[in-house]
C-alpha cells in the first residue's frame, strides 16, 4: 500500500521541462550570438584602427578618425601648400619663395609617429582622447637661402645707409646749440637676419619684420642720452661768451656760430676748444680785416681819386698771438672787449674795409695845401712848404700816420738845428711842424727853398693840428700827377 501511495505523489510535467530546457538554450544562443557580434565588431574596430587612425583621433584640430596616414598628411600639409616668407624692411618688402631654396614642409614624420603609438586593440580609449599636436618637418637648402638673401637689394651692403649718431648743431634762430637726431640708417646685421630667416622658415611663420626684431644696427646714442645733454650745455656755455675786437672805431664781435665752429665734439661727446680751428678763424679774420699792404682809393677834398699803398699804415693781425689770446678767452668763457693782437695798426675801419675813415690830414704837395678833417668836417685849410725839390728833399706822396705828438723840441740834422713848438712826425724823419722862421707859405717856395722833407706850417695852424691829432692819425700826401677822376 505504501509504494502505491508514493507513486501517486510524484508527478513530472514533461512539456514544462522541455520548455524550460529550450528557454535556457535560447538564452545561451543569444549570448553566443551577441558575443560573436561583439567580438566581430571589436575585431573590425581593431582592424580599422590598425589600418587607419583610431576613432576619436584628432591631430592639430583635424578629425583623423578612420583616415589613413597619407590622407591625414595631405590634409595637414594643405595649410602650407602655398607657403612663402615675406621679409619686411624699413624701406620695402621682399618675398622668399619655396622654389628658390628647395623648401619642403610636411607633417609626414609627426603623423607617422602618432599612428605608431596607437594600439589598435585599445582603439576605444582614443574616442575621448585629447587633440594630438604634430610638428611639421621643414627642409630647405641653407646655401640657396643665403644666396637668395644676399640678392635682396635691402641686404646688399652698397645699398645700406650707415646709422648716424645724434648731432649737436647750431641753431641760427636761437643762437644756441641743440640736439639733432641722426638718420637711423638701414645698416642690417646680416648674420642675425639669416638666423631669424631660418627660424621663421622652420616655424612656418609667414612674416619676418626685420625692423622689430632688432636686425638694424642702431646708433650708440639716442638724443635723450645724458652724455649728449651735458655736451650741449657745455657747448652753449662756450658760444654764449661775448668776445669783441676794437678795430679802430669799429667793434667786431666774434659770432656765436664762429665759436661753435671752433669746438670739437668727439664720438663720445667730449667737447673741447680746438686750437687748430681757432687759428683757422684768426686766418679768416686776417683775410677779412687786414688792410696792410693793400691798395686803397682815397677821395681828395675835390673828389679826385688817389690810389695808394703803404708800408707803415694798415691793420695787420699777429695771427699766432691773437690765436693764443682768443683760445684763452673761449676756454675761460669770459666776456671781453679788447684790441686784437696786431703787428701793424690803422686808425679806423668800416664795413667796406676803409681804414682811413673821415678823420685825416690831406696834403696836396702840388698845390702846397694842407687840409685837416675830423669826423668828416673840415677843421682848416692852409698853405705849407714841403721838401726842397732843388736839393733832392722832395716830400714823397703816400699813406702814413702820425707817429708821435711832441711839444717844444729841437729838430736836428747834419746841417741844421731847428727848435719847434709842435712836432708831429709821420714818415720817419718827415713830419708836420711850425716854422716861425718863415714869413710866407705856399706857392712854389718848396721848389728852391723848401724844407729837408718836412711839411712846414704856420704857427697857428701847426698848433691847431697838434691839438687835434693823435698817435696813428692818418696822413695822405700826394702829387697831382698821381690823381685821377
Q: Please list the active-site residues.
A: 433, 454
Backbone phi, then psi, for 229, in 5-degree steps?
Answer: -60, -40
- Alpha-carbon gap, residue 83 to 140, rounded angstroms: 13
Give residues with Cβ within 8 angstroms of 135, minimum separation 6: 107, 110
Cell of 163: 646709422
Instruction: Collapse the DSSP code of 90 into the 3-class scheme (helix H, G, I; strand E, B; otherwise coil) and give the result.
Output: coil
Question: Residues 425, 427, 429, 432: is their CA dihedral positive or negative?
Answer: negative
Cell of 275: 686750437
Q: Long-range contacts for 43-49 (Cβ within 8 Å, ≥24 apart)?
A: 45/120, 45/123, 45/124, 46/120, 46/121, 46/123, 47/120, 48/123, 49/118, 49/120, 49/123, 49/126
- Alpha-carbon gap, residue 269 to 232, rounded angstroms: 9
For cell 610636411, name the residue.
106
- Alpha-carbon gap, residue 35 to 39, rounded angstroms: 6
Asked whether 466 and 426 are in contact (CB, 8 A), the reply is no
- Alpha-carbon gap, residue 253 to 415, rounded angstroms: 52
Q: What is the largest CA-CA distance in the chain?
A: 218
Rounded (5°) CA angle 377-378-381: 175
H/E segment holding residue 321: helix 319-332
DSSP 163: P
Question: Residues 272, 316, 377, 464: is their CA dihedral positive or negative?
Answer: positive
Instruction: Collapse the DSSP code of 172 into the 3-class scheme (helix H, G, I; strand E, B; otherwise coil) and give the result.
Output: coil
- Alpha-carbon gap, residue 469 to 422, rounded angstroms: 11
Pairing between strand 474-478 and 455-457?
Answer: unpaired
* Helix residue spans in 175-274 (DSSP H): 190-202, 226-239, 256-261
Cell of 62: 583635424
Q: Where are any strands of DSSP class E within 354-394?
A: 360-364, 369-374, 377-383
Amino acid at each position: 500500500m505504501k509504494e502505491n501511495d508514493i507513486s501517486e505523489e510524484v508527478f513530472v510535467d514533461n512539456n514544462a521541462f522541455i520548455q524550460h530546457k529550450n528557454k535556457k538554450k535560447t538564452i545561451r544562443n543569444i549570448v553566443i550570438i551577441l558575443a560573436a557580434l561583439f567580438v566581430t565588431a571589436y575585431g573590425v574596430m581593431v582592424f580599422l584602427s590598425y589600418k587607419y587612425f583610431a576613432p576619436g583621433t584628432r591631430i592639430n584640430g583635424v578629425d583623423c578618425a578612420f583616415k589613413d596616414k597619407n590622407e591625414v598628411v595631405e590634409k595637414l600639409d594643405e595649410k602650407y601648400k602655398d607657403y612663402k616668407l615675406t621679409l619686411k624692411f624699413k624701406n620695402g618688402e621682399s618675398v622668399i619663395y619655396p622654389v628658390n631654396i628647395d623648401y619642403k614642409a610636411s607633417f609626414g614624420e609627426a603623423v607617422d609617429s602618432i599612428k605608431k603609438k596607437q594600439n589598435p586593440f585599445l582603439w576605444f580609449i582614443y574616442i575621448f582622447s585629447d587633440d594630438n599636436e604634430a610638428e611639421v618637418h621643414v627642409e630647405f637648402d641653407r646655401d640657396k637661402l643665403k644666396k637668395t638673401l644676399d640678392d635682396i637689394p635691402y641686404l646688399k651692403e652698397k645699398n645700406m645707409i650707415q646709422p648716424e649718431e645724434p648731432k649737436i648743431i647750431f641753431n641760427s634762430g636761437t643762437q644756441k646749440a641743440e640736439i639733432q637726431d641722426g638718420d637711423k640708417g638701414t645698416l642690417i646685421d646680416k648674420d642675425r637676419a639669416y638666423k631669424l630667416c631660418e627660424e621663421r622658415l622652420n616655424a612656418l611663420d609667414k612674416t619676418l619684420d626685420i625692423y622689430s626684431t632688432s636686425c638694424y644696427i642702431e646708433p650708440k646714442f639716442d638724443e635723450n642720452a645724458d652724455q649728449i645733454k651735458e655736451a650741449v650745455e657745455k657747448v652753449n656755455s662756450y658760444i654764449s661768451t661775448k668776445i669783441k675786437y676794437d678795430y679802430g672805431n669799429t667793434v667786431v664781435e666774434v659770432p656765436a656760430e664762429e665759436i661753435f665752429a671752433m669746438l670739437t665734439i668727439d664720438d663720445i661727446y667730449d667737447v673741447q676748444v680746438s686750437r687748430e680751428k681757432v687759428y683757422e678763424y684768426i686766418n679768416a679774420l686776417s683775410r677779412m680785416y687786414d688792410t696792410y699792404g693793400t691798395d686803397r682809393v682815397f677821395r681828395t677834398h675835390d673828389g679826385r681819386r688817389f690810389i695808394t699803398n703803404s708800408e707803415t699804415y694798415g691793420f695787420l693781425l699777429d695771427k699766432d698771438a691773437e690765436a693764443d689770446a682768443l683760445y684763452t678767452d673761449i676756454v675761460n668763457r669770459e666776456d671781453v672787449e679788447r684790441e686784437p693782437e696786431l703787428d701793424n695798426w690803422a686808425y679806423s675801419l668800416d664795413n667796406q674795409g676803409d681804414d682811413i675813415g673821415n678823420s685825416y690830414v690831406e696834403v696836396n704837395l702840388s698845390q702846397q695845401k694842407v687840409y685837416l678833417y675830423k669826423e668828416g668836417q673840415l677843421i682848416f685849410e692852409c698853405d705849407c712848404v714841403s721838401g726842397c725839390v732843388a736839393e733832392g728833399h722832395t716830400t714823397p706822396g703816400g699813406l702814413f700816420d702820425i707817429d708821435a705828438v711832441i711839444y717844444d723840441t729841437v729838430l736836428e740834422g747834419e746841417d741844421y738845428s731847428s727848435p719847434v713848438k709842435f712836432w708831429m712826425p709821420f714818415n720817419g724823419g718827415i713830419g708836420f711842424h711850425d716854422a716861425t722862421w718863415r714869413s710866407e707859405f705856399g706857392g712854389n717856395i718848396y721848389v728852391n727853398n723848401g724844407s729837408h722833407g718836412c711839411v712846414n706850417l704856420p704857427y697857428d695852424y701847426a698848433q691847431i693840428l697838434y691839438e687835434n691829432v693823435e698817435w696813428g692819425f692818418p696822413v695822405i700826401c700826394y702829387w697831382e700827377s698821381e690823381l685821377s677822376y
